[in-house]
Structure 1
Amino acid sequence: MTLLDLLLDPLRYEFMVRALATAVVAAVVCAVLSCWLVLIGWSLMGDAVSHAVLPGVVLAYILGAPFAIGAIVFGFLAVALIGTVRSTSRIKEDAAIGIVFTTLFALGLVLISVTPSQTDLNHIVFGNLLGVSAGDLVQVLIISAVVLAVLVVKRRDFTLYAFDPTHAFAIGLNTRLLGAGLLALLALTAVVALQAVGVVLVVAMLIIPGATAYLLTDRFGRMLVIAPVASALCAIAGIYLSYHLDTAPGGTIVVVQGALFTLVYLFAPREGVLAKRTAARRHRGAAPVA
């Protein structure tokens, strides 16, 4: 089999084309948002929101409503509950996040266990990229377009909020509204990634691309280019590997992202472990002898 055959063979199937399109779109929107999440330090918040949407998805299935509606409602609910616990008690933010997301995630698992269904609801947890329908793809495209449009229009305000919220407040920006806006976008993005990799692996797509780009550049504008490009390439590579190796596509995509991060972590020109060690040796060798 030639290289061209390897590339074209999966595209003969409509479900693979839909899977590829969904994976790339989800990878791009997650990667763009991940740049802000990494800078602000909201990795744990991304984990919380992505897991907390599970009961909403199951309830939406029970009621016959679109999965996205249930996921969005419970994503916003999780954010509200975390804020309420944090502001009305002595509990710190990390503990509040842990309490809320584990409780809601467990509720989702309980609902799955007691819900009679002709559909395997475990696909919500682990992803069902190969089962994405045309309607699911349209939903992903619409939500992704909304998230990316807001991020592009408000990118300067969000960036200032990420780097220096005190200065943002001093010049008249509503920092609480900006924070709430990013959390709302996080909830919407979790819905998009849910279609690709499931609840369990959403956090990887929300964090790894931004972290990878962060090690490659110290300019935020470049991060916003590097992260989605790298994430989209990982999604494509993951889909093709899963097809030819007969592995789970969502998990394979995340493994490829993790492998890329490992390479960057080790070999990045300035921030890589090996580059830092080499620079440290040179510095010691160039130090004057007393």
Structure 2
Amino acid sequence: MPLMDDEHADYVFYYPHPERATAEAVIWTEKLSKKSLKAFFLEACKDNLVLDELYNSKEPFTLYKPIGLSFDPFETLLARSRQWLREHHHIEQDKLPAAERIARAFPDGPDLDDVNILIVTAEILESLEDVGDLEARHRKVIRQREMEVRRIRESFPAPSAGVKSFSGVQMVVNDNADSFHAGRPASNHGPPVALFDPTLGLLAYYLSHLDDDIPEIEPNHLQIGAVHMFMEQALCSYENEGKRLTAIEKSLQQAIGIDMSWKQSICGIIPDAVFGAKLPYVV
């Protein structure tokens, strides 16, 4: 809502989301002037549910200094702020580092007639190119599904939690039974994952052709020994996940027989180990 004349808030934050746009003012104090822009943003979140939800979701955001973006008329602020972003979102000088002190970011103080700080997420930048209402609704559904999958994924215990003890097995298998199909429609299991990864597609093919007449693989004694060593080490109990990975690293590499990389980030996820070519197998 617009600021009233009797409010003495110096810094105005604006979140130009196409469906949840909101503004919040932070009153300048001597104590806050010595803190960072992130601290100012946290002050704005205290009395604003939309901003507080954004901060707690841990979704990355960028702060912008929209020089010349007037707060009034408030009715057109969303459209004007989004047009400003179309023209300035790629300009580094218009971005504000969250760790920068407010006094350095605004050496002459705020312009009381303007929006001082824009809060911009990747979703907002993507929405700048929307054509019509369908794209906005489609994007909203996708974002909601991504957030739900991220929430469920982060709630899962580490893999080693299921091998430490019987209670650990119960925790992994029973307590998380309803979460194994995270992100898929509630009424069914969704499309087969083999559609989205050639490695899983090949695995699905082999599993559905177990009765085919295929050449038998005859591993030598060194390969059998490597697999045995890996299984023995993997089934042991360890104090933590790090010690488990250290113990199985060498034997797993020997059993697979090709180079592996550890703790390699893929699309924001860090699997224990990755091996293969361009489209990696993930362990």
Length-normalised TM-score, structure 2: 0.27
| Superposition TM-score, scaled by structure 1 size | 0.26
Flag the structure with higher strand content.
2
Greater CA radius of gyration, 1 or 2?
Answer: 2
Q: Could you say which structure has the higher helix fraction?
A: 1
